[in-house]
Amino acid sequence: MPRLSIRHVTTYRYRRPVSFGEHRMMFRPQESYDQRLIDMRLRITPEPVDLRWIHDVMGNVVALASFGQEADTLTFDSDVLLDHLPANTPDFRMEDYARSYPFTYGPEEMPDLARSIERHYFDPGHEIDRWVRRFLDSDGETPTGQLLMNITHAIKESFVYVGRQEAGTQDPITTLSTGRGSCRDFAVLMMEAVRALGFAARFVSGYLYVPDHAGHIGGGNTHAWVQVYLPGAGWVEFDPTNGIIGNKDLIRVAVARDPRQAIPLWGTWTGNLDDVLGMEVSVDVSEIALDKRRYAAV
Which tens digits make up the pLDDT trace of 137-173?
A: 988 789 999 999 999 999 999 999 998 766 778 999 9
CB 184 within 8 A of CB 191: no
How far apart CA 127 and CA 297 sit, in angstroms, is 56
Instruction: Please state the rounded mean pLDDT for residues 182-209.
Output: 97
Domain-embedded: residue 31: yes
For 142, the 3-state DSSP assignment is strand
Find, among 171, 196, 191, the residue nearest to 181 by Cα: 171
Find, among 245, 206, 157, the residue nearest to 6 by Cα: 206
Asked if residue 295 has pLDDT above 60, the reply is no
Domain-embedded: residue 51: yes
Domain-embedded: residue 199: yes
Residue-wise pLDDT for 11-61, tens only, equals: 999 999 999 999 999 999 999 999 999 999 999 999 999 999 999 999 999
Same domain, 243 and 271: no
pLDDT (0 to 100) of residue 296: 39
Query: Which residue stretches of the chain are H helix?
Result: 110-117, 127-132, 144-158, 172-178, 183-196, 292-297
For 72, the 3-state DSSP assignment is strand
Same domain, 70 and 205: no
Same domain, 226 and 290: no
How far apart CA 93 and CA 90 sit, in angstroms, is 9
| Burial of 237 from C-beta contacts in 10 A (0-12 / 13-18 / 19+) | buried
What residues make up the domain containing 249?
A: 96-259
Same domain, 118 and 235: yes
Same domain, 71 and 207: no
Same domain, 200 and 227: yes
Domain-embedded: residue 58: yes
pLDDT (0 to 100) of residue 92: 83
How far apart CA 172 and CA 190 sit, in angstroms, is 8
Q: Domain of 29: which CATH number?
A: 2.60.40.2250
CB 202 within 8 A of CB 257: yes
How far apart CA 199 and CA 228 sit, in angstroms, is 7
In 181-219, which positions are buried (b, 16+ CB within 10 angstroms) versus exposed (e)? bbbbbbbbbbbbbbbbbebbbbbbbbbbbbeeeeebbbb
Same domain, 246 and 211: yes
DSSP 32: B
Domain-embedded: residue 90: no
Domain-embedded: residue 80: yes
Domain-embedded: residue 291: yes
* Number of structural domains the chain divides into: 2
Same domain, 140 and 176: yes
Centre a 10 Å sphere on the Cβ of residue 109 and count the other Cβ atoms it contains. 13
pLDDT (0 to 100) of residue 213: 62
pTM above 0.85, yes or no: yes
For 15, the 3-state DSSP assignment is strand
Same domain, 253 and 268: no
Residue-wise pLDDT for 217-248, tens only, equals: 877 889 999 999 999 999 999 999 999 999 99
Q: Which residues pair with 39 in a beta bridge?
A: 81
CB 3 within 8 A of CB 290: yes
Find, among 244, 237, 248, 238, the residue nearest to 209 by Cα: 248
Same domain, 279 and 248: no
pLDDT (0 to 100) of residue 297: 35
For 134, the 3-state DSSP assignment is helix
DSSP 138: T
Cis peptide before 143 (omega within 30 of 0): no
Bridge pairing between strands 71-84 and 276-288: unpaired
For 175, the 3-state DSSP assignment is helix
Find, among 196, 193, 292, 211, the residue nearest to 249 by Cα: 211
Domain-embedded: residue 104: yes
Instruction: Please state the rounded mean pLDDT for residues 240-258.
Output: 95
